[in-house]
Amino acid sequence: MADKKSNYSANNIQALEGLEAVRKRPGMYIGSTDSKGLHHLVWEVVDNSIDEHLAGHASHIDMIIHEDNSITVVDNGRGIPTGMHDKLQKSALEVVMTVLHAGGKFDKDTYKVSGGLHGVGVSCVNALSSYLRAEVHREGEIFEQEYSQGKPQGDVKVIGKTDKRGTTITFKPDGEIFDSLVYNFDTLAARMRELSYLNKGLNLKLTDEREKEDDGSFKATSFYSEGGLKEFVTFVDESRTPLISTPIHVVGKEENVEVEVAMQYNTSFSENIYSFVNNINTREGGTHVSGFRRAVNRVFSKYAEDNGLFSKLKFKVSGEDFREGLTSVVSVKVPEPQFKGQTKGELGNQEVTGIVSRAVGEVLAAYLEENPKDARRIVDKVILAATARHAARKAREMVQRKNVLTGSGLPGKLSDCSSKDPGESEIFLVEGDSAGGTAKQGRDRGFQAILPLRGKILNVEKALEHKIYENEEIKNLFTALGVSIEDKDGERILNIEKLRYHKIVIMCDADVDGSHIVTLILTFFFRYMKPLIEQGFVYIAAPPLYMVRKGNTKVYAWNDEERQDIINNMGGPETSGIKTQRYKGLGEMNADQLWETTMNPEERILRQVTIEDVNESDRIFSMLMGDEVPPRRRFIETNAKYANIDI
Ligand code: 0RA
């Protein structure tokens, strides 16, 4: 990579705010001080390295997780400037590291990740680290400065000569700030994989010094993508069956906005859009996604009309139908992005809609003309989607009308609670009638309802939609919960205004079968009642695995460690004085025990189901519940305990 003579001068950096503010209110700057915030620190540093890549100056980024959970990020960019800052009479390096927002705008022509969503700068990371060391290779010399909680521990020192360029940042997150200090390899690796697809030609490497491989080397993984977004789409669709031979690829540029899109149709029923602005995942979409959808609707509608392909249909084809089974990655680079929405995960720049729509429309129209066979296959799929949606709507209306006719419509199997206040009411979805019976005896009927479900509920991932609404267990679920699906402008909307319980608790055996059933139920919620998960109404009960008994004393344990501790505390080892009972299922507990351990709000453990990453969850559900066996086996092998599905 050519080392362009940089036009940067140390004086371009403006001093803004002190770092005390960051330590006082870390949440304001990095979102939270939990594990999410902890990982955010890494991305703040990496974003700067990515900016160097976007500006054409860096080809390699290495990340190391050290044994003590400190992190090193190495890049071969230009290196943080080290010259004297006139106004502040300090090295620019010190200014970048200790002054909030100092790392900001230098050359406006380049797209900056760090000007986007994250953008609080590497000085924030410094403020929130008990220790940080910056090493810069620049203009033949190696510079170094160390800090503690953002405060320099000495001046910038020259510690040697070098023929390399780049920046190395090592930091240890401050235990006074963060609740959790342990980095997750998979979380870091997943984002680095994503970054490699988004930045083709960039080499990324992750090393974990906490873990050794069999040959004694540290656990490590590297990412590099030649094909960029096309490979991204192929990767996320690995467990789906493609409809066309290679993904459709769009590259365009207008008014300084760069557009890149890759899209692939598959035989599944869901739409998956991954969208990015300056490499940042925009989970709530925005103007770039609107532009993409607009182009897909427009181009396919016109193509189908022009060729008379919709002429026999007795109903309208909706936007949703055009996107069923469509996986796409929409990535734009915008010089000055505006982010909106609750989590600032939505692009607001209006001009981007038209730019993306034009770029995608042009390529897509040409593609359909040039590939008539693929075009036909896609249109057939769209017609199928429209037909299925029509049938599903009819089935749904039948079920919902029947409920109106039969009065309250509550299922006979439901043992409802007396309270009518959803805010205090809970419903337990229990596997099987026998466990259902125990739960019914054990519950507090004032606010706890029980709905037994037949063993394995329908795998909605494989069933046709109208079959789903005709399924007895699923009908019961809809009516018991008081929610319904309605059509609005051809899109399905879940109406939860009449939701009857604000805690929906899935209660299954703590074994492989039980977790399979939990997964089936979660798949259903994820596909058809996602807002209930998003709003935090869905939980998983955690029944104990063991009861340790000594005389009349009974203590429950939720894992092997706890069990051993209890045995030790009772003066262990296990004898006929001290005995462990392994609960294989809920059915082995009597009503009192079930109440005491799993249902009583004072004692129980409930795990709230959250969606951290919609797309990743989608991928995992299709894999776990779909047809392809090898990816599922791989997933289960790597996540096995029994697989704890962490969505
Ligand atoms: C300020 C200005 C320039 C680069 C950087 C900061 C920079 C920061 C980080 C953080 C990690 N790696 C980094 N690489 C560069 C522009 C420098 C120039 O124009 O020479």
Q: Which of 185, 207, 223 is the last residue of a domain?
A: 223
The CATH number linked to 252 is 3.30.230.10
pLDDT above 50 (res 107):
no
Query: Are residue 143 and residue 237 in the same domain, yes or no?
Result: no
Q: What is the pLDDT of residue 240?
A: 85
What separation in Å is there between the alpha carbon of 83 and the centre of ligand 1?
Answer: 12
Is residue 440 located within the same domain as residue 303? no
Amino acid at residue number 390: H
Per-residue tokens: 21:
């503010």
Q: Which atom of ligand 1 is nearest to the CA of 81?
A: 17
Range 578-587 average pLDDT: 85
Is the CB of residue 106 below 6 angstroms from any atom belonging to ligand 1?
A: yes
Check which CATH number belongs to the domain holding 620 and give it. Answer: 3.40.50.670
d(CA 428, CA 604): 13
Same domain, 144 and 252: no
Residues 487 and 450: their CA atoms lie apart, in Å, by 30
Instruction: Give the Å distance between the CA of 89 and the centre of ligand 1.
Output: 19
> Residue range 4-29: average pLDDT?
63
Q: Closest residue (by CA) to atom 10 of ligand 1?
A: 48
The span from the CA of 167 to the CA of 77, in Å, is 7
CA of 452 to the centre of ligand 1 (A): 60
Q: Are residues 383 and 431 in the same domain?
A: no
What's 115's DSSP letter? T
pLDDT at 403: 64
Whether the predicted pLDDT of 168 surpasses 60: yes
* Torsion (CA) 176, 177, 183, 187 in degrees, nearest 10: 170
Do residues 110 and 187 share a domain? yes
Question: 285-300 pLDDT, tens per residue?
Answer: 999 999 999 999 999 9
Instruction: Indicate if 173 and 306 belong to the same structural domain.
Output: no
The per-residue pLDDT for 286 is: 95
* Tokens representing residue 116 in the block: 């986007």
pLDDT number for residue 11: 46
Domain assignment of residue 12, yes or no: no
- In the block, tokens 């230098």 appear at 106
Task: Print the domain residue range for 312.
Answer: 229-387
The verdict on the CB of residue 440 being under 6 Å from ligand 1 is no
CB-ligand 1 contact for 639 (6 Å cutoff) = no
Q: Is 135 in the pocket of ligand 1 (CB under 6 A)?
A: no
pLDDT at position 632 is 76
The Cα–Cα gap between 151 and 589 comes to 57
From 223, 256, 279, give the residue that closes a domain.
Answer: 223
Residue 549 lies in a domain: no
Mutation test of ligand 1: which of 106, 125, 147 has the most ligand atoms closer than 8 Å to its C-beta? Answer: 106
Q: Provide the 3-class DSSP secondary structure of residue 314.
A: coil
Q: Flag whether 103 is in a domain.
A: yes
Residue 438 maps to a domain: yes
Helix (H, G, I), strand (E, B) or coil at 184: coil
Is residue 539 over pLDDT 70?
yes
In the chain, % of residues over pLDDT 90: 57
Angle at which helix 614-625 crosses helix 512-528, to 10 degrees, equals 130
Residue 578 near residue 570 (C-beta atoms within 8 A): yes
* Same-domain check for residues 280 and 373: yes
Determine the Cα–Cα distance for residues 586 and 507; give it in Å rounded to an integer: 9
Domain count, the chain: 3
Q: 597 in a domain, yes or no?
A: no
Of the candidates 223, 249, 283, which is a domain's last residue? Answer: 223
Is residue 401 a part of any domain in this protein? no
pLDDT at 405: 57
pLDDT over 70, % of the chain: 91
If we measure between CA atoms, which residue out of 90, 76, 69, 78 comes closest to residue 15? Answer: 90
Please name the residue that has the structure tokens 């770039």: 288
Give residue-wise pLDDT tens across range 367-417.
999 999 999 999 999 999 999 989 988 888 887 776 655 555 788 899 999
Read off the pLDDT of each residue in 39-63 and give the average, rounded to a whole number.
Answer: 93
Q: Is residue 77 within 6 Å of ligand 1 at its C-beta?
A: yes
Helix (H, G, I), strand (E, B) or coil at 85: strand
Distance 255 CA to ligand 1 centre (A): 26
Question: In whole numbers, what is the pLDDT of the chain averaged over residues?
Answer: 87
CA distances from 3 to 57, 112, 173, 584 (A): 7, 19, 33, 65
Residue 577 included in any domain: no
Other residues' Cβ atoms within 10 Å of the Cβ of residue 343: 12
Is the link from the previous residue into 631 a cis peptide, with omega within 30 of 0? no
Q: List CB contacts of 19: < 8 A, sequence separation 6 or more.
A: 98, 99, 100, 123, 124, 126, 127, 150
Q: Is the CB of 96 under 6 A from ligand 1?
A: yes
526 is a domain residue: yes
Do 490 and 635 lie in one domain? The reply is yes
517 & 443 share domain: yes
* Mean pLDDT across 612-638: 76
Whether the Cβ atoms of residue 595 and residue 583 lie closer than 8 Å to each other: no
Top-confidence residue, 179 or 433: 179
Q: 127 and 208: one domain?
A: yes
Model confidence over 541-557: pLDDT tens digits?
A: 999 989 999 988 889 99
Name, in order, each residue with C-beta under 8 angstroms of 129's C-beta and a sequence gap of 6 or more: 41, 147, 149, 150, 171, 172, 173, 174
Same domain, 142 and 211: yes
What is the CATH classification number for the domain harbouring 47?
3.30.565.10
452 DSSP β-pair partners: 430
Whether residue 304 sits in one domain with residue 155: no
Q: How far apart are CA 603 and CA 558, in angstroms?
A: 12
Q: Measured in angstroms, how far is the CA atom of residue 166 from the centroid of ligand 1?
A: 9
